[in-house]
């Protein structure tokens, strides 16, 4: 039996869990207030704060790093990599520290994992980072030669849900085709062909449906006019698109439960916006079905918004003619990271080198 610490830094929280093999024995989600995070100019500046948060949580669990067999950290905005479990090496650490135009708290996951693991002399690992890239050449081409479509997605949960769907169908993941949608604060809709995620919308700042916090695909001309209006600095416009768009921009909240309360109370505008998000998700699912030429064994819906029966009903009525719809509410990111570590520790999988 292996004891594994799993670390998942998010935009407003740090999730920490201890697993014995694939069984969680202790879990915490430490929520960070806006005031706490406002002290840091860049996400990289949060490093010591996030590390101490994890170490305090581990102490609350009555454990020390020496009680562990491995530490797994969430992987973020890195160079494109194949799906799998990676040993945290020097190159991965250097890339995690780089200032990216698209900062993401997940970049701190592997760095914190490495420091804790090094002190105990145990492996530090990373599983399916945001930058998992299994695109085919056709999927990379954009309308300008100096811009390339990139694979940046909720790869960890997309891959986990795809494997779960394959098992539910009595199939192996690398033998079937799926369209998998992660529905959370950001929304990723992906095409999986025989074990490879061959296309996905650029969920953070580029294409696809709008989400609770993200603007999704926008008319480029209108965005250019905003950019040159003199009203926004680069950081302000990027924040608007990636963190204050979608439901938040339209309704002043990123909480789907609050939106549904308003709809139940008769708010027609809230209903219009919420159904429009479902409409755009369904359109993106249809797009990914064309990537697979209609050969789709199942459509898989996962993530926090997959708990919403209202949203799922609107999506399903538009897409269930394509393939059966499987729903796995919530996200299994912590379990997925633990499973990746267990496979390596057991020798069932060779850890990849970044």
Q: What is the pLDDT along the chain (354 residues), one digit of tens a residue?
A: 999 999 999 877 899 999 999 999 999 999 888 788 888 888 888 999 999 999 999 999 999 999 999 999 999 889 999 999 999 999 999 999 875 556 778 899 999 999 999 999 999 999 999 999 999 999 999 999 999 999 989 999 999 999 999 999 999 999 999 999 999 989 999 999 999 999 999 988 889 999 999 999 999 999 999 999 999 999 899 989 988 999 999 999 999 999 999 999 999 999 999 999 999 999 999 999 999 999 999 999 999 999 999 999 999 999 999 999 999 998 889 999 999 999 999 999 999 999
Are 57 and 110 in contact by the 8 Å Cβ rule? The answer is: no
Domain ranges of the chain: 3-134+333-353, 155-329
Q: Determine the length of the chain.
A: 354
Q: Tokens 């064994």: give the residue.
A: 297
Are 108 and 9 in contact by the 8 Å Cβ rule? The answer is: yes
Which CATH code for domain 3-134+333-353? Answer: 3.30.420.40
Give the closest residue to 8 by CA, choosing from 340, 343, 347: 340
Q: Between 1.20.1600.10, 3.30.420.40, 3.30.1360.80, 3.30.70.3000, what CATH number should domain 155-329 receive?
A: 3.30.420.40
Decide whether 3-134+333-353 matches 155-329 in CATH topology: yes
pLDDT at 100: 57
pLDDT, one tens digit per residue, over 276-295 is 999 999 999 999 999 999 99
């Amino acid at each position: 039996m292996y004891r594994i610490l799993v670390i998942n830094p998010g935009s407003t929280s740090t999730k920490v869990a201890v697993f014995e093999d694939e069984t969680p024995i202790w879990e915490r989600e430490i929520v960070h207030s806006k005031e706490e995070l406002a002290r840091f100019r860049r996400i990289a500046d949060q490093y010591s704060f996030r590390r101490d948060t994890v170490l305090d949580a581990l102490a609350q669990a009555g454990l020390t790093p020496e009680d562990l067999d491995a530490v797994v950290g969430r992987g973020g905005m890195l160079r494109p990599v194949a799906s799998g479990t990676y040993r945290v090496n020097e190159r991965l650490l250097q890339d995690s520290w780089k200032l990216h135009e698209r900062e993401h708290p997940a970049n701190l996951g592997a760095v914190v994992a490495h420091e804790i693991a090094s002190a105990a002399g145990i492996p530090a690992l990373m599983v399916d980072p945001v930058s998992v890239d299994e695109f085919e050449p056709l999927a990379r081409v954009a309308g300008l030669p100096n811009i390339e479509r990139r694979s940046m997605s909720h790869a960890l949960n997309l891959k986990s849900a795809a494997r779960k769907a394959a098992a539910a169908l009595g199939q192996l993941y690398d033998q079937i085709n799926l369209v998998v949608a992660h529905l959370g604060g950001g929304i990723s809709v992906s095409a999986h062909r025989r074990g490879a995620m061959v296309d996905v919308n650029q969920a953070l700042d580029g294409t696809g449906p709008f989400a609770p916090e993200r603007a999704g695909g926008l008319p480029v001309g209108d965005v250019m006019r905003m950019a040159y209006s003199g009203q926004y600095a680069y950081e302000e416009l990027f924040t608007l698109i990636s963190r204050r768009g979608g439901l938040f921009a339209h309704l002043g909240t990123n909480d789907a439960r609050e939106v549904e309360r308003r709809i139940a109370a008769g708010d027609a505008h809230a209903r219009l916006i919420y159904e429009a998000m479902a409409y755009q998700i369904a359109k993106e699912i249809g797009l990914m079905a064309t990537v697979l030429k209609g050969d789709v064994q199942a459509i898989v819906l996962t993530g926090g918004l997959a708990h919403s029966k209202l949203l799922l009903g609107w999506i399903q009525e538009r897409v269930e003619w394509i393939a059966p719809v499987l729903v796995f509410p919530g996200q299994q990111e912590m379990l997925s990271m633990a499973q990746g570590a267990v496979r390596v520790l057991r020798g069932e999988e060779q850890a990849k080198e970044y």
